[in-house]
């Protein structure tokens, strides 16, 4: 193992001894700021420059290398200016064609010059074989052929492959390649050493089977995937253990108040709700800060669990903040929480961006004095002028909608250097097990995995847009029966304005066709109070049909709404379709979700519609979404709070992920220095991505 002095110098942010300042600047654009980063910056593919073909024996349309002599070089102007060079070896001749060239290239390709050329041979004009824009090197005396395959790396503007290869070669002489994994563990998993792995992936010899280099599930890529997953798990385990350094408010459940609350509900908690409530109550009754993610399908009853957790905190003398992503959702939650808790003598307030200056000041004053015990709000909750008297519990609904900094800003309202608030995050978009293990491993996870009894399953129908008139007639009949309908307009990603125009046009068209129906509209450009007013009319039954953009995706609860029509459903993601569908089926009547689709479906769109048609279980939908889109699109680095995985695939490498999760606690406990080196190798100072 190399000296610790060298380790401490090398492992930090610098590229001393690598290239010029300009090259280092360009490398930084690729996320490379240390010599270690270069070792973990792997090629996209490889080219074989270890052998030379005779022209007569070189295969066409494959990348080949030939050694030739220039016999003619001229600039032609038809059809455009280009450098045309004729070269030959002892077997045949070939044309080299350069559509873009510089004077120094012309000088290098003088008649009589011996060169090595790498490119694809194709049949060109006049039935002569040619190479277009090949790579050319002048043959220098005593310059042998390379003995390893030539790596081709991802690059950025102004950074040549030669510069990257030189930087990687320099990194091999400087960077630490000693192993951070114990030999016993490598043997158990059947993985090669770190130095052998990086050498193989950067400098493979031509006799290596190309499948070994491409096989993402093979031993060498398996070692890289495992190392990356282990670094991620170590960070999260450290983060999980870090909670032990902080204390949190001790909150004991009050059985009497809880019974009063439950007696007033017109339903009983499900077994799943009781199970997760017990987990949350246990967490809050301890001095260690709770960090729990509560997952539950649309309509599974997460809000009532949040209210019971709040009751425990408020009963212990602390304030509770519930942060939600939209004004509509804040209004829905506020009404429900107020209805449940004010009868128990608890003061519930709402803080959103739509309040007047006077209203906002009044709420902020109540929060500061402590007279506001439960505060429901949007992003407005974590503004600088909002000061809580004694915030003890933070609840974040639809947690994936908030960035890490936003979550920490609110949690920080009740924290100091030694004390932390309890934190409950909720999501109606269930997270597949492998994704939760990988990106939420620093949290405890609870799942409400059953729906309340009496919920009538939603029927999903796939209907071609050509049958739109049929759908409209069915919608009219539903409204005449006294039930209500959502009509969701297509998602037009390129233009919010176009989406708005479509919603307005749809509203006008349906209103003209059915003048006796009361039709409302909500969209993202409306003022918050106007959206709220329309939603209140829809909730009370004053509006029969609501035309909406996807602003109604979360939080809207209208039991009398039994039909949802989603236009151009093929444009939407699985999770979004499932969320929208969950807005209906909340009453006693049978409900139907109609997915209108256009004539031209991509394979992925067809797969999505098939899944949503066949599946109503949110956990199954989430698993399918992960397989279709991958974790990057579902989470995004901003949302997850962790750097995204570069090489590991949590579905393909689930066994490696489980092994990394199993190893991490023991590794930190018994080999802390090795663990720190392992984290540093992969993330360096980026470890601060993780949350506390």
Q: Looking at the structure, do residues 301 and 410 belong to the same domain, yes or no? A: yes
Q: Residue 649 domain-assigned? A: no
Q: Looking at the structure, do residues 468 and 566 belong to the same domain, yes or no? A: yes
Give the contacts of 236 (CB within 8 A, at least 6 positions apart).
441, 442, 642, 664, 690
Q: Residue 318 domain-assigned? A: yes
* Domain end marker among 139, 154, 188: 139
441-473: per-residue pLDDT in tens?
778 889 998 877 767 788 999 999 999 999 999
- Give the pLDDT of residue 404: 57
Structural domain boundaries enclosing 314: 255-448
- Give the pLDDT of residue 622: 78
What secondary structure does DSSP assign to 646-668, as a single string?
SS--TTTTHHHHHHHHHHHHHHH
**pLDDT reading at 167 higher than 70:** yes
**pLDDT reading at 501 higher than 80:** no
108-145: per-residue pLDDT in tens?
999 999 999 999 999 887 778 999 999 998 988 777 88
Q: Tell me the C-alpha distance between 191 and 185, whole Å.
A: 8
* Domain end marker among 594, 615, 636: 615
Q: Residue 639 domain-assigned? A: no
Q: Looking at the structure, do residues 154 and 196 belong to the same domain, yes or no? A: no
- Give the pLDDT of residue 518: 94
- Give the pLDDT of residue 643: 56
* Across 355-374, average pLDDT: 94
CATH of the domain at 512: 3.40.50.300
* Domain end marker among 551, 583, 615: 615
- Give the pLDDT of residue 403: 57
**pLDDT reading at 636 higher than 60:** no
Quickly state the pLDDT bin for 556 (edges 50, 70, 90): low
Q: Residue 623 domain-assigned? A: no
Q: Tell me the C-alpha distance between 670 and 487, whole Å.
A: 59
Q: Looking at the structure, do residues 283 and 342 belong to the same domain, yes or no? A: yes
275-311: per-residue pLDDT in tens?
999 999 999 999 999 999 998 887 788 999 999 999 9
**pLDDT reading at 381 higher than 80:** yes
Number of domains in the chain: 5
- Give the pLDDT of residue 574: 83
Q: Report the C-alpha dihedral over residues 114, 119, 122, 124, rounded to 10 degrees.
A: -60
Quickly state the pLDDT bin for 407 (edges 50, 70, 90): low
Give percent above pLDDT 70 in the chain.
90
Nearest 5°: CA angle at 173, between 167 and 175? 85
Q: Residue 68 domain-assigned? A: yes
In b/e form, how buried is each residue of 213-222, taking b as 16+ CB within 10 angstroms?
beeeeeebbb
- Give the pLDDT of residue 132: 93
Q: Residue 537 domain-assigned? A: yes
Q: Looking at the structure, do residues 43 and 160 belong to the same domain, yes or no? A: yes
- Give the pLDDT of residue 16: 75
Q: Tell me the C-alpha distance between 16 and 171, whole Å.
A: 10
* Across 404-430, average pLDDT: 76
| Residue 310: strand, helix, or coil | helix
Q: Looking at the structure, do residues 513 and 585 belong to the same domain, yes or no? A: yes
* Across 160-180, average pLDDT: 93
Q: Looking at the structure, do residues 473 and 593 belong to the same domain, yes or no? A: yes
Q: Looking at the structure, do residues 80 and 97 belong to the same domain, yes or no? A: yes
What secondary structure does DSSP assign to 448-514, as a single string?
E-SPPTTPPPEEEEEEEGGGHHHHHHHHHHHHHTT-EEEEEPPP-TT-HHHHHHHHHHHHHHHHHH-
* Across 209-233, average pLDDT: 89
Nearest 5°: CA angle at 116, between 113 and 117? 110
- Give the pLDDT of residue 61: 85
**Location of structure tokens 């960035």:** 403
CATH of the domain at 120: 2.40.50.140
Q: Tell me the C-alpha distance between 224 and 217, whole Å.
A: 10
Q: Looking at the structure, do residues 294 and 436 belong to the same domain, yes or no? A: yes
DSSP letter at 419 equals: B
Q: Looking at the structure, do residues 440 and 491 belong to the same domain, yes or no? A: no
| Residue 676: strand, helix, or coil | helix
How many of the other CB atoms lie within 10 Å of CB of 265? 11
Q: Looking at the structure, do residues 119 and 204 belong to the same domain, yes or no? A: no
Q: Residue 444 domain-assigned? A: yes
Q: Tell me the C-alpha distance between 554 and 286, whole Å.
A: 32
Q: Looking at the structure, do residues 564 and 513 belong to the same domain, yes or no? A: yes
* Across 591-598, average pLDDT: 93
- Mean of pLDDT over the chain: 86
Phi–psi pair at 296, nearest 5 degrees: -170, 140
- Give the pLDDT of residue 281: 97
Rg (CA), the chain: 32
Q: Residue 637 domain-assigned? A: no
**Location of structure tokens 């792995």:** 197
**Location of structure tokens 């997850």:** 640
């Amino acid at each position: 193992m190399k000296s610790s002095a060298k380790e401490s110098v090398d492992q930090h942010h610098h590229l001393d001894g690598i290239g010029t300042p300009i090259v280092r600047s360009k490398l930084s654009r690729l996320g490379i700021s240390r010599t270690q980063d270069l070792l973990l910056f792997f090629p996209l593919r490889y080219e074989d420059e270890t052998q030379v073909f005779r022209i007569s024996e070189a295969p066409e349309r494959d990348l080949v290398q030939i050694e030739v002599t220039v016999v003619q070089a001229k600039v032609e102007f038809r059809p455009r200016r280009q450098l045309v060079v004729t070269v030959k070896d002892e077997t045949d001749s070939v044309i080299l064609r350069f559509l873009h060239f510089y004077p120094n290239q012309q000088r290098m390709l003088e008649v009589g010059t011996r060169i090595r050329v790498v490119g694809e041979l194709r049949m060109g004009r006049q039935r002569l074989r040619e190479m277009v824009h090949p790579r050319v090197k002048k043959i220098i005396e005593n310059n042998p052929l390379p003995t390893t395959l030539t790596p081709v790396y991802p690059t950025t503007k102004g950074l040549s492959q030669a510069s990257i290869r030189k930087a990687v070669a320099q990194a091999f002489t400087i960077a630490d390649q000693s192993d951070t994994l114990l030999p016993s563990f490598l043997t158990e998993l059947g993985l090669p050493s770190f130095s052998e792995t990086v050498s193989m992936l950067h400098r493979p010899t031509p006799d290596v089977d190309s499948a070994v280099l491409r096989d993402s599930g093979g031993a060498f890529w398996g070692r890289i995937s495992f190392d990356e997953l282990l670094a991620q798990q170590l960070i999260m385990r450290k983060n999980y253990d870090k909670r032990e350094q902080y204390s949190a408010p001790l909150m004991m459940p009050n059985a009497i108040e809880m019974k009063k609350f439950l007696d007033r509900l017109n339903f009983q908690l499900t077994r799943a709700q009781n199970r997760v409530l017990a987990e949350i109550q246990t967490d809050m009754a301890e001095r260690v800060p709770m960090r729990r993610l509560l997952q539950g399908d649309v309509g599974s009853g997460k809000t009532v669990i949040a209210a019971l957790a709040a009751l425990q905190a408020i009963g212990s003398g602390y304030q509770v903040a519930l942060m939600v992503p939209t004004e509509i959702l804040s209004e829905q939650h506020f009404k429900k929480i107020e209805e449940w808790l004010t009868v128990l003598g608890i003061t519930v307030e709402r803080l959103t961006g739509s309040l007047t200056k006077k209203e906002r000041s009044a709420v902020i004053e109540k929060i500061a004095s402590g007279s506001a015990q439960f505060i429901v709000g949007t992003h407005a909750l974590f503004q600088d002028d909002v000061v809580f008297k004694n915030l003890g519990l933070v609840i974040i609904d639809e947690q994936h909608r908030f960035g890490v900094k936003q979550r920490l800003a609110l949690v920080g309202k009740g924290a100091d250097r030694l004390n932390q608030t309890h934190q409950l995050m909720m999501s109606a978009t269930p997270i597949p097990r492998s994704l939760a293990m990988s990106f939420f491993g620093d949290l405890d996870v609870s799942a409400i995995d059953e729906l309340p009894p009496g919920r009538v399953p939603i029927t999903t129908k796939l209907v071609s847009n050509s049958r739109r008139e049929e759908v409209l007639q069915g919608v009219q009949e539903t409204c005449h029966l006294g039930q209500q309908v959502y009509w969701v307009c297509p998602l037009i990603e390129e233009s919010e304005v176009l989406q708005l125009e479509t919603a307005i046009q749809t509203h006008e068209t349906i209103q003209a066709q059915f003048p006796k129906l009361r039709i409302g509209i909500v969209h993202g450009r409306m003022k918050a109070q106007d959206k709220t007013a329309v939603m209140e009319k829809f909730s009370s039954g004053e509006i029969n049909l609501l035309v909406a953009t996807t602003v109604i995706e979360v939080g809207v609860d209208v039991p009398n709404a039994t039909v949802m029509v989603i236009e151009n459903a093929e444009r939407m993601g699985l999770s979004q379709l499932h969320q929208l569908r969950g807005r209906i089926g909340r009453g006693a009547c049978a409900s139907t979700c109609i997915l209108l689709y256009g004539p031209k479906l991509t394979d992925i769109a067809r797969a999505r519609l098939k899944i949503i048609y066949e599946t109503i279980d949110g956990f199954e939908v989430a698993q399918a979404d992960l397989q279709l889109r991958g974790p990057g699109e579902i989470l995004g680095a901003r949302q997850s709070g962790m750097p995204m995985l570069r090489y590991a695939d949590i579905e393909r490498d689930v066994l490696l992920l489980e092994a990394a999760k199993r190893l991490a606690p023991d590794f930190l406990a018994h080999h802390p220095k090795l663990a720190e080196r392992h984290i540093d190798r992969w993330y360096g100072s980026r470890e601060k991505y993780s949350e506390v």
